[in-house]
Amino acid sequence: MDRLKDKVAIVTGSTSGIGIGIARLYAKEGAMVIICGRRKERGEEVVREIEEAGGKAAYHFMDLMDPDSIETLMKDVAAKYGRIDVLVNNAANASPKDGRLDEVTLEQWDEVFDSNLRGTFWAVKCALPFMTEKGGSIVNIGSMAACGGDLQGTAYAASKAGVDMLTKSIALQYGKNNIRCNCVRPGLIVTPQNEPRIPDALKKIYLDNICVTRYGKPEDIGHLVVYLGSDESYYMTGQVLTVDGGLNTHSPTVAQFRNMGSRTW
């Protein structure tokens, strides 16, 4: 239980969903975890949960749309703990009206890109000065939306595809500084917060298409992010890893043939 022992880890967007799952596992593995987001009350509640389980955590405010708050987060953490060992860029936003290209306004496009791509870029830029001396690990949380085109979510998918390439550039440019950077693309991850909003029809579509027997859980992402933050993954950098239950591993007609009881036409 000490794969991240004594590491100082920042997990952005860790007041809900996947971020909480990552933060809990990081604390369980011995890291000092910085919980950050806009909701102070919820963030402090997550800290209490971690401490009651024997872990170490602290809350710090951060707004993904506010560059000053991101820079302050990195400086404050480095000042208090002397360094930043791991940065997990989990925080992201999606416009509820992000649809087809002709439906997306310039304002919506900019909002999604400012949060998902600019926010990730700026967080890394602000953290780098506190990693360059001893090195560190950066884990960007992408999305399976970047795996292919879709009928909606145009801006979100494009922004997450940008995170994929940003990951590779960071890995190349700072590998010689002992800084690694990888990206994890989650599939359908069901959390207590989003489950009431996921229609049963959508759940069935995913179950028909994934290779395993259930939807994803925050811990499914968290276990991989623990590995990428640990010294065990020293020789892995610049990688984009999709954790989606095998959704993107097969022909798009598999679900239909399976429902027909057939393997081919």
How far is Cα 211 from Cα 173, in angstroms, rounded to an integer? 36
Q: Active-site positions? A: 156
223: burial class by Cβ within 10 Å (0-12, 13-18, 19+)? middle
